[in-house]
Structure 1
Amino acid sequence: MSSISFGNSNSHEISLDVPHITPIKRWHIAFAVIYSSRAFLSLHKESKLVHKRCEIFPDNEFSTVDKTSLALLLKEKNPDQLRAFGGIHGIASALETDAKLGIHGDCEDIARRNEAFGSNTYAKHPAKSFLHFIWEAFKDLTIVILLGCAALSLAFGIKENGPKEGWYDGGSILFAVFLVIAVSSLSNYRQSRQFDKLSKVSNDVEVEVVRTGRRQRISIFEIVVGDVVCLKIGDQVPADGLFLDGHSLQVDESSMTGESDHVEISSRQNPFLFAGTKVVDGYAKMLVTSVGMSTTWGLMTHQISLDSSEQTPLQARLNKLTSSIGKVGLAVAFLVLLVLLVRYFTGNTKDRNGNKAFNAKKTESDDIMNSVVGIVAAAVTIVVVAIPEGLPLAVTLTLAYSMKRMMADKAMARKLSACETMGSATTICTDKTGTLTLNQMKVTEFWIGQESIQKEAYISLLDSCVVDLLREGVALNTTGSVYRPNPVSKFEFSGSPTEKAILSWAVDELNADVEELTRSCSIQHVETFNSEKKRSGVLARREVDSTTHVHWKGAAEMVLEMCSSYYDASGLTKDLNDKEKEKFERIIEGMAASSLRCIALAHKKVEVEEEKENNGEKESKRITEEKLTLLGLLGLKDPCRPEVRRAVEDCRHAGVNVKMITGDNVFTAKAIATECGILKPGQAMSSEAVIEGSEFRNYTAKERMEKVDKICVMARSSPFDKLLMVQCLRQKGHVVAVTGDGTNDAPALKEADIGLSMGIQGTEVAKESSDIVILDDNFASVATVLRWGRGVYNNIQKFIQFQQTVNVAALFINFVAAISSGEVPLTAVQLLWVNLIMDTLGALALATEQPTEELMENPPVGRSEPLITNIMWRNLFAQATYQIAVLLSIQFEGKSMFGVNEKVKNTLVFNVFVLCQIFNEFNARSLEKKNVFKGIERNKLFLGIVGVTIVFQVVMVEFLKRFASTERLSLGQWGLCVGIAAFSWPIGWVVKFIPVPQKPILSFLG
């Protein structure tokens, strides 16, 4: 047991017994106790609070603070209450956190904090159970009607034929209905679970924290109370906390308060930060005080229902199709009902013995009711088959399968609509850095004055004063950091790729000691980098001589405009007149033409600025941007990704235009675009293919609409220019996909039909505004998403063609038979079985087809293309006509043709009808290609479903005779059925030679 004592002449000695603690923890405790002593002196009148703060850390626990009091402190935003806790540093001490070094962060420390304050996870609403989906299926009106008919059939059947045989008809309908409900409910339940898993992955983002003095990236779920989190523009605040230090921090609290105005955060007036808010300007370090359900956001989300009834665009089109076909089905069912009732009551319907089924003088009321119920059940069953309620299931299955497979291809769909919409994309607007390039910046050129300095001669050729200024400018004017665990270890750099490259250059080539330089200067004011200014500045005071210096860093042409002089290699200052500026501009252009990003460093020594009081808050004047001295030019190389050129070619081959929108200058943009294949040879000199954002912005609305299609590269673009480009393209009818990684990209990502954010470098604001997250930041993955999108759309079209073939054949056969003979050849149970094959098993088989390379040879679908194309109508009518002709022939001439009785004939009709659908399922694998068997060996699920369907059909015919109203068939009869059904294959092959008109037919059906 160790004892630590503190005291002075004005206070009582405070003694603390600590059982075997490490030196680091001893230091934390000592610091906290000292702070507690100061609180005792300053808050003498508040004796209760003093007493509470003096009982600090007994048994190594957080006794002075708890998660409830910390949550209330943040929720109420009360500065007085914060001061009562000893201020921000008082809370940091109580949480055993060092403002600069962070927490210790070992397993024991993390576990203790999780136990005391909870984890950074949110309680979710209970997942929908399987019973919920069953109940939802029962709410379907047609199912309710069928259940009512089944109940009536059971009652009258048992009354007429007794309990042993009277339940067959009603029981068969019940069993078939429950089978359909069970399979569809299971499919929806599994999809719901899959979506929950994907949501969990999308919420698992990385954040940067400081632990034991080292910056490191961890999962947002691993953040604990006491952590020091680094925030920059675009980040989402991961937990509730307090502002430790930083500059120009502004957050968007609209998600919490609904107010659109940005809130300024500072240590004096408003140090409170809330989970779920977004950083829109500046950077800072934050002390985490509440996590998970203890945060204000957690308390809010606990009361919010997460249910959403939002439909995807394709689902809306499917609903229109379902409605149109349903109306046709209802009309046919009503006609069948009317015809059957008229025939029955006029005595034209015969019973099993060949006698009239209805005789006004002899037929009992129970027999009439039984017959009417049977007629109504037949009509309702036609409605069930006609209405394509399997379409939503097919969409769900297709999207679930595609989303899962896209994850393996480094793309995560955040919204269901994204998969389907991507298949219609006609234009992709991509940014450059990190998407087309590797985002691995490295300084490859350095110019001082108008002289290029070789790598090995930086120190020997440069004046020491210039070197010192370069070191100071890089070390102070950065949002990155340098960490070295020990003297023999390598340096670790954090920050953006550009910041890391410049820091690495300063440390490796200029021998800069970033940590020492940071300690030797005090930062007075910071102008943070943003996409509008394209530069950042810092006002710093040297502790050694109390002089004040300004350092600027940013896009070379921007910084050059602020300079009136420049340093040469010997340290002399020379005037920067217009003639000299032209020389520097040529240097910058030459570097840009070599695909280098050109960054300029500038400096100015300023007089000590007077500080003025404003409501008790000290404010520094704006950092000067005039008469700077140019320190040097850095050329940073970010090589293109090796696979990008092929991906761009694939997109272009698929009829999708690729446009690059970047903030870099025209020369760099041209070089990268040419290297990636976005610009063809000769296009780089075209004024229509390559423009600057300001030029596009200054066009009239008419000029923009005329020229937007010809633009391939937009350089020096602002966020507004990117948004304007997307709006123009959409107005011209394009389906636009946009890639982006920064907060400034959010408006364009939201405006686009498909927003694609970057998973590695993308900010949380960008990800939240997007539909799909590209997990590897690679444009090649964008091309993969395009292929999957087309696959989703194509799979749904395959299923619609397959399903509507069944609908047309079933409706026509039952209608003709009902009018001519007064009976329906396919019973309610048989039609329900066909419905199961068509909706659930068919959807599962066709929804899991992987996208083929042929899909990338077709032009994009766009906005105006109907869901059911002329090609689909051609295939559909050909197969339906063949099935109708064959089945009606068997229905009316089957007994004489095959020498069978009525029951066997009806079984042949049912069996041929089902087998035709099984063979036609192969035809549906390709809408246009004649070889429908290509690649079938790779789709094991398709073959498995076909096999299961065949087995079930054999069981239905051979073993469930009473249930399905069938009769056993001989081998010869089975061979006959298979032969008739197999003829669907050559018909499907021949019909694809028939040309189709370009103008859509039957467009009202989708």
Structure 2
Amino acid sequence: MCYIVLAHTYLSCSKQEIEPQHHPPYGGIQLKAVDRTDPCPTFLWHTLTQAEIEQTLKTGSAGLNAAEVSQRIKQYGPNRLSTQKRRGVLFRLFMQFHNILLYVMLGAAVITALLGHWIDTGVLLAAVVINAIIGFIQEGKAEAALDAIRAMLSPRATVIRNGKKHEVNAENLVPGDWVILVAGDRVPADLRLVSTTELRIDEAALTGESVSVEKNTDTAQAATPLGDRYGMAYSGTVVVYGMGTGIVIATGSMTELGKINQLLTGIQSLTTPLLRQIDGFGRVLAIVIIALCVITFILGTMWRNIAPAEMFLMVVALAASAIPEGLPAIMTVTLAIGVQRMARRNAIIRRLPAVEALGSVTVICSDKTGTLTRNEMTVQRIICAGHIFDVGGTGYSPVGDFSKEGRIIDPDHYPALSMAIRTGVLCNEARLCEENGQWSVEGDPTEGALLVAGNKAGFHQHIADAAWPRVGSIPFDSRHRFMATYHRDSDGEPWIFVKGAPERILEICSMQLDDDGERPLVADYWHRKASRTAASGLRLLGLACKRATPAKEHLDFSDVESGYTLLALVGIIDPPREEAVQAIAECHRAGIQVKMITGDHEETARTIGAQLNIGIGKKAMSGADIALVDDAQLRRIVLQVDVFARASPEHKLRLVQALQEDSQVVAMTGDGVNDAPALKKANVGVAMGMKGTEAAKEASDIVLADDNFATIVNAVREGRTVYDNIKKFILFMLPTNGGEALVVIAAILFELTLPLTPAQVLWINMVTSSTLGLALAFEPAERNIMSRRPRPPEEPLLSGFFIWRVLMVSMLMMGCTLFLFLWELNHGTSIESARTIAVSTIVMAEIFYLVNSRYIFASVMNREGLTGNYYVLISIVICIALQFAYTEIPLLQAIFQSTSLSILEWLKVLCAGLLIFFIAELEKMALRAGIAPARIQHMR
């Protein structure tokens, strides 16, 4: 399964020999050709003529015989993509536990089990198992990405062997086979075309080209991009019109499709910033807790002479108070809630960590066709003699007005415009369909755009067919570059309508139609308009007509040689999505760069980019330019260029890698198989759900159910919210655990009676972790969340400010708890009652601090801050009820050695909680007053 390489040609060609040498600078960086003296790894089949191909592959028009086919199958192998040895089911399942997040959860579960905290243990183990199952299922789906590419290979093929046509299994194709293609076929292997008849192939899945490509048998220059090799047909693409014959030049893994498959197999998945941070945070926290427990035990036994058995119980209480059992569970719940929220916004999450990774995205690399644009060709401009008309509306929905210089007009008042619209509808092979309010086109998208324009003008296809019946036609031919149809109008008068390439239509026209009738053709006028319109990125079609009957019985090419009247030039484009424009503006406000990477032509890419506010005032970069530079140059250029055109799968992959090497967090969107490698390599791969290929979906982390770029922005907002909520939980959890730990440490150091027993510490953790902390996972997005800059990928989970707040609140909780505990003991209260007050003080402090934690910097002293999250209110009610049960229910009193509290004692506990609440709000106020808003946003 390899290319045949000629020893006498291109054996040691360098990039300098096949790539263009002169390129404009990008941001002051001059492109330099990369001199590679290694032999070319593949053969440039698109540069060879039919005779050279036949000589190289030892084949002819009669095809191969059975013996040659058998020998070549042994030599090259079957025409299928290579597969990697898959891991066994049990190994895949066990590997799901090889995850930093799950290690933290398992460690917390083991410790809580040793401490007898079985409820927390059960919750943590359930979360571990659920995560493993989800990962196991998703990995199975990820492996299906390669299967999805393999499924694009045609199962059958029509070949010429021994001078006869045969239908064979496509796996049995070999280099040198002659393959016949007809409309509807999937190309079974890479072919060098040797004959074509109006052959058009949809290569969007492979190249990103937004319209089908007209094929011919011409050779191409060595450096010609994949999408411009018109004499080639590539495996996995689809024939939409006409027929052709080609010689197989590559099969299996050596096809362009096979190269993408190989790219996918070589890409390793990346971890997310949060998982890396949690890994570091968990290790540091574990070391700190262990060290703290050891030091405390040593000090207690050797310095304070406390009995080792009693000291051990104290250390157990300290460990129980310091371990953040709720962190892994809250992360899982927060991510799961993010998944649900994104699903409601049409973003389907395939891999759980991608939820958080979205929040740290700094660059979004987007495919153009179908993502930023509608993937529905639309007539935007019609140029007639003396008039330029704009056509409103986008896509295939036939809604829109015709206007001239901003004024809406009636096409029937302009003879040339009216006749041009009629010509576009009549000289047409497509069909415009509507089902359940959704409009679609059967046939060529460009012809579909003409039908939509006709509907907007009230000239519907079924009316046209009835009033202007077709008598004959000449289908589009790539050599002649036009299509012609012969009709009779309602009066029986003959008409020949022609549409095609503007330069070809101009050749056959001697007249032009304007408001005063037919006039001699002014060629300069049309050339100027054509150049200007093409430069703006619109694809042009010429429309012409002639009142005449064919010279012979049937319409023939000789009838389309001269004597026509030029009606109009039609400018067609795949328009940008309106919502994408707004979404990109929001990305810019959020500090996220948006880069458009497309397989389309550079002019079209620049035009669409300008309409979307991408790359304005900057140069676009082509795939040929990318191929010229090395990785170091590309890293310097990639941040300065926003529009990349004619990009191959390898180019897209290199661009993503270059951005990641510059410490960018990259989200990549795409819908074609050509996007799959870059989707898999990106930090967050985003595939289109409606028009995307299965290969793209399976290689992605997220699938957009509505194919809408704006949905990505909504997903980024949710991703930032998820990260915010995890940080809020940590900022809530650490001070509460720290306050408990400080109470125990202070009691040991100052030889006080232990205010909290280990069982009571576990009760506090169970009540607060299971009820209070969970509520923060449901926090809605803060108003300014999309006005912040993306957080640096390597930003520590705990900043200096976070450490300050943890210490402040921990000290407050310790101080209030110890004060009330010692106060009660000094006033003769029993140790059981004093400890009950201490436990209740910590719980009440955490209840009030939970409300503080809803906003990190903003005040919660308003209606939204106090009541905006009803999950917080519900958790507070549940927590109070549980704490009341702790003090009043005899069974719990017996287990935890608690007592009932009087109203006065409850008021003391309430005052302690309020004190912490107001001090925390005063600290926020001081921060807001003393720190610039930009600095606060950065500290978020």
The normalised TM-score by structure 1 is: 0.56
How far off its partner does 1:451 sit? 11
1:928 is matched with 857
| CA distance 1:420–1:199, shift in 2 (3 Å) | same
How far off its partner does 1:426 sit? 1.4
Q: Residue type of the partner of 2:282?
A: T
| CA distance 1:856–1:265, shift in 2 (3 Å) | farther
1:282 is matched with 237
2:118 is matched with 178
How far off its partner does 1:902 sit? 2.2
Q: Residue type of the partner of 1:382?
A: L
1:970 is matched with 902
Matched, 1:596 2:551: no
SS in 2 for 1:761: coil
SS in 2 for 1:435: helix
1:306-455 matches, cutoff 5 A: 312-341=272-301, 372=309, 375-445=311-381
The whole-number CA distance in structure 2 between the counterparts of 1:666 and 1:309 is: 31
Residue from 918, 921, 925 that aligns with 1:989:
921
1:875 is matched with 805
Residue from 556, 562, 568 that aligns with 2:509:
568
**Structure 2 contact 595–642 (Cα < 8 Å) conserved:** yes
Q: Residue type of the partner of 1:243?
A: R
The whole-number CA distance in structure 1 between the counterparts of 2:152 and 2:629 is: 45
1:72 is matched with none
Matched, 1:243 2:156: yes
**Structure 1 contact 138–144 (Cα < 8 Å) conserved:** no
SS in 1 for 2:877: helix
The whole-number CA distance in structure 1 between the counterparts of 2:630 and 2:140 is: 46
Spell out, residue by residue over 1:212-270, the C-alpha distance to the aligned partner (whole angstroms, 9 max, x if none): xxxxxxxxxxxxxxxxxxxxx997677999538899xxxxx9xx99xxx9x99989999
How far off its partner does 1:814 sit? 1.3
Residue from 873, 889, 914 that aligns with 2:843:
914
| CA distance 1:972–1:929, shift in 2 (3 Å) | same
The whole-number CA distance in structure 1 between the counterparts of 2:602 and 2:104 is: 62
How far off its partner does 1:714 sit? 3.6
1:126-137 matches, cutoff 5 A: none
2:200 is matched with none
1:517-916 matches, cutoff 5 A: 566-568=507-509, 587-591=530-534, 593=536, 596-598=538-540, 634-665=570-601, 668-678=604-614, 684=616, 686=617, 688=618, 690-695=620-625, 698=628, 704-821=634-751, 824-896=754-826, 898-916=827-845
**Structure 2 contact 768–879 (Cα < 8 Å) conserved:** no
How far off its partner does 1:142 sit? 6.5
How far off its partner does 1:975 sit? 0.8
The whole-number CA distance in structure 2 between the counterparts of 1:493 and 1:931 is: 54
**Structure 2 contact 148–698 (Cα < 8 Å) conserved:** no
How far off its partner does 1:647 sit? 2.2
Can you give the 5+ residue segments of structure 1 that lack an aligned partner in the other structure? 1-78, 81-123, 150-172, 206-232, 248-252, 286-307, 350-370, 528-534, 540-552, 572-578, 603-629, 1001-1005
Spell out, residue by residue over 1:269-299, the C-alpha distance to the aligned partner (whole angstroms, 9 max, x if none): 99999xxx999532279xxxxxxxxxxxxxx
The whole-number CA distance in structure 2 between the counterparts of 1:797 and 1:979 is: 27
How far off its partner does 1:777 sit? 1.8
The whole-number CA distance in structure 2 between the counterparts of 1:824 and 1:692 is: 72
How far off its partner does 1:940 sit? 2.0
Identity level (%): 26
How far off its partner does 1:631 sit? 14
The total of aligned residue pairs comes to 684
**Structure 2 contact 187–235 (Cα < 8 Å) conserved:** no
Report the RMSD for the aligned CA atoms in angstroms: 5.8
703-712 or 922-931, larger mean C-alpha shift: 703-712
**Structure 2 contact 530–540 (Cα < 8 Å) conserved:** no
Considering Cα pairs closer than 8 Å and 6+ residues apart, tell me whether 1 or 2 has the greater RCO.
2
| CA distance 1:382–1:996, shift in 2 (3 Å) | farther
Larger Rg: 1
The whole-number CA distance in structure 1 between the counterparts of 2:370 and 2:273 is: 31
How far off its partner does 1:945 sit? 1.4
SS in 2 for 1:738: strand
How far off its partner does 1:332 sit? 1.8
How far off its partner does 1:913 sit? 1.3
The whole-number CA distance in structure 1 between the counterparts of 2:880 and 2:539 is: 64
The whole-number CA distance in structure 2 between the counterparts of 1:906 and 1:237 is: 68
Q: Residue type of the partner of 2:119?
A: L
**Structure 1 contact 403–419 (Cα < 8 Å) conserved:** yes
SS in 2 for 1:757: strand
| CA distance 1:875–1:599, shift in 2 (3 Å) | farther
1:222 is matched with none
SS in 1 for 2:784: helix
The whole-number CA distance in structure 2 between the counterparts of 1:311 and 1:641 is: 32
**Structure 2 contact 113–121 (Cα < 8 Å) conserved:** no
Spell out, residue by residue over 1:336-362, the C-alpha distance to the aligned partner (whole angstroms, 9 max, x if none): 334455589x5x56xxxxxxxxxxxxx
How far off its partner does 1:400 sit? 0.5
How far off its partner does 1:970 sit? 0.7
**Structure 1 contact 183–840 (Cα < 8 Å) conserved:** no
SS in 2 for 1:319: helix
Q: Residue type of the partner of 1:568?
A: C
Q: Residue type of the partner of 2:609?
A: A
How far off its partner does 1:932 sit? 6.3
The whole-number CA distance in structure 1 between the counterparts of 2:795 and 2:186 is: 54
The whole-number CA distance in structure 1 between the counterparts of 2:662 and 2:380 is: 42
How far off its partner does 1:792 sit? 0.9
| CA distance 1:452–1:921, shift in 2 (3 Å) | closer
Spell out, residue by residue over 1:709-751, the C-alpha distance to the aligned partner (whole angstroms, 9 max, x if none): 3333344544444444333322222222222222222233233
Residue from 449, 452, 457 that aligns with 1:501:
449
| CA distance 1:427–1:138, shift in 2 (3 Å) | closer
1:54 is matched with none
The whole-number CA distance in structure 2 between the counterparts of 1:937 and 1:858 is: 25
1:56 is matched with none
Q: Residue type of the partner of 1:744?
A: N
| CA distance 1:482–1:913, shift in 2 (3 Å) | closer
The whole-number CA distance in structure 1 between the counterparts of 2:158 and 2:543 is: 25
SS in 2 for 1:983: helix
Q: Residue type of the partner of 2:801?
A: I
How far off its partner does 1:761 sit? 1.8
Q: Residue type of the partner of 2:913?
A: A
The whole-number CA distance in structure 2 between the counterparts of 1:311 and 1:146 is: 28
